[in-house]
């Protein structure tokens, strides 16, 4: 999607898929998208100058999200993936209102579907940022899909800092994980959750510590792969897939400190990010 000087919207299959997050956590979604759709070009924006979104008001998050979407739309994208749980929870309507011709995919609904499919006993735990938990987006999404579900939520703000610093396993990460998770799994008199939704794109990096605390019996769900499935389905539905045989590339935008984006983003993506593919932008 691109808006020209006459405000006419142009969308074609050769344009990249646009994605944004408050930082580098959304690269876990980008990785899943590249694995499923290796031919698609991707334009990713990390609003690192203003992270985290999770501790900010819904009004502020919506304003930031529309600004990030605008930056991607101006460069020309055929679809927008909101690879941030907090923005997905509170800002999808604002983005869709601002760009009515643009297909917008959030990560909350796919994550909720994956959690409902993973749970046998219908007791589902959700860990996320303060904003996502307070807004109740996962609770509502899970209840729409599985009205009989019992949902337990916990805000885990320190998980974001641990993931950003690379402290994703070992005694410190495990101690923080235990402090957050034990209240969710402490019902000795009844059934505990059998699935856990990682409701922030930073949290998959903490899975080793979380798994150590919970043991093997709890199914851990993140929305990355399920979101990639939704993107694939929509691109097929609208006949917007990239040309067969094309090898896709990724270009990155960040609002602060390119070197840190490269360093931290490499950890989230699981492979090196070339410095020349990262551009500093001002929203």
Shortest CA distance to 276 belongs to which of 255, 262, 257?
262
Catalytic residue among 42, 61, 84, 235: 84
Whole-Å CA distances, 148 to 60, 116, 140, 192: 33, 10, 12, 15
If you write DSSP's letter for every residue of 223-245 in order, what string do you get?
SHHHHHHHHHHHHHHTT-PPPTT
How far apart CA 82 and CA 65 sit, in angstroms, is 8
Q: At what angle do helices 171-181 and 207-214 cross, to 10 degrees?
A: 60
200 tagged catalytic: yes
84 tagged catalytic: yes
Catalytic residue among 105, 200, 214, 242: 200
E strand or H helix that includes residue 120: none
Place of tokens 């990390």: 46
Which residues form the catalytic set? Answer: 84, 200
């Amino acid at each position: 999607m691109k808006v020209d000087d006459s405000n006419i919207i142009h969308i074609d299959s050769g344009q990249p898929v646009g994605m944004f997050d408050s930082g580098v956590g959304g690269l876990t979604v980008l990785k899943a998208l590249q694995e499923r759709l290796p031919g698609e070009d991707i334009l990713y924006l990390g609003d690192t100058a203003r992270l985290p979104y999770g501790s900010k008001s819904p009004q502020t998050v919506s304003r930031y999200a529309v600004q990030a979407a605008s930056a991607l739309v101006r460069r020309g994208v055929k679809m927008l993936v909101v690879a941030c749980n907090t923005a997905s929870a509170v800002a999808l309507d604002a983005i869709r209102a601002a760009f009515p011709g643009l297909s917008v995919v959030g990560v909350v609904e796919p994550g909720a579907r994956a959690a409902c499919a993973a749970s046998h006993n219908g007791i589902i735990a959700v860990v996320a940022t303060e904003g996502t938990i307070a807004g109740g987006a996962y609770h509502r999404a899970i209840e729409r899909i599985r009205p009989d579900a019992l949902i337990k939520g916990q805000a885990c703000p320190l998980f974001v800092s641990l993931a950003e610093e690379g402290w994703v396993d070992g005694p410190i990460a495990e101690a923080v994980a235990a402090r957050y998770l034990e209240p969710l799994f402490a019902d000795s008199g009844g059934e505990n959750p059998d699935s856990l939704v990682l409701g922030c794109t930073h949290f998959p990096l903490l899975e080793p510590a979380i798994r150590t605390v919970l043991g093997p019996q709890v199914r851990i769900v993140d929305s990355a792969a399920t979101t990639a499935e939704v993107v694939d389905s929509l691109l097929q539905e609208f006949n917007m897939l990239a040309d067969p045989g094309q090898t896709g590339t990724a270009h990155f935008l960040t609002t602060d400190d390119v070197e840190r984006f490269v360093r931290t983003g490499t950890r989230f993506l699981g492979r090196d990010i070339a410095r020349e593919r990262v551009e500093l932008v001002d929203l």
